[in-house]
Amino acid sequence: VWVQKPLAPAIEWAFDTLLWIRGGHSPNSYTYQVYEDMTLQFIVWMGTCFLCFVVLWLFTRMCRACRGFVVFPNEMKWWGRLVISFDNLTYWVWFWTSFFWIGFNVYLAVYPASFHFNNVGMMSFMLAATFLNYALIIANSMRFSIMESVDANEIAFLSMDNIWRANQLFFMVGPIQGFSVFTGTKNFLSYLLYGQD
């Protein structure tokens, strides 16, 4: 409630602007209440993320004070490294996402679909984010020459090949990881049930 009143004029203006861009109400249009709820949910989500970060920072500071008998990370950089290690250990769990996106695109191409959101706005946001991503990579690769990037920082040398390889990696690794999960599960069950190694 304390957030709702000050933001009500801004939310109402955004709602009226979106309605004007779309040319008025349509069967898929949301009501004003839905936009208000979405905005408040986003604010609560951002506030929760910030609060969790502050709690983690305070916990890390306490761990630093009790460094002699506490085994938790006593610096924020160690939490970042733990997150990276966790991602490296569990990324195979999401091998099915490449299959999902290919299947979802095929489904949308074959069967007609109606969207309950402004697909023009969603597509524009996606294109803008992709353009900014490409612009960062191209600007970074133009800023450093090959020799400067090798001498100063290997990570600074980026090119368009990195973009294509990242996309290829996402779609090519999915089947390989799926096969690895299947084979590993089969070998584990063979060892568990029949003692075959």
Per-residue pLDDT of the chain (197 residues; tens, 9 = 90+): 455 567 677 777 777 777 676 666 655 556 666 777 777 888 889 999 999 999 999 999 888 888 777 788 888 888 888 888 888 788 788 888 888 988 988 998 898 777 666 667 778 888 898 888 778 777 766 666 555 555 555 554 555 666 666 667 777 888 888 888 889 889 989 988 888 77
Q: What is the pLDDT of residue 87?
A: 82
Q: What is the pLDDT of residue 144?
A: 60
List Cα–Cα distances, 110 to 98, 113, 130, in angstroms: 19, 9, 26
- pLDDT for 29 equals 57
- Closest CA relative to residue 93, chosen from 183, 181, 196: 181
Query: CB under 8 Å, gap of 24 or more: what pairs does 36-40 form?
Result: 36/4, 36/8, 36/11, 39/7, 39/11, 39/14, 40/3, 40/4, 40/7
Q: Residue 3: its pLDDT value, please?
A: 56
Q: Are residues 62 and 73 in contact, defined by beta-carbon separation less than 8 angstroms?
A: no
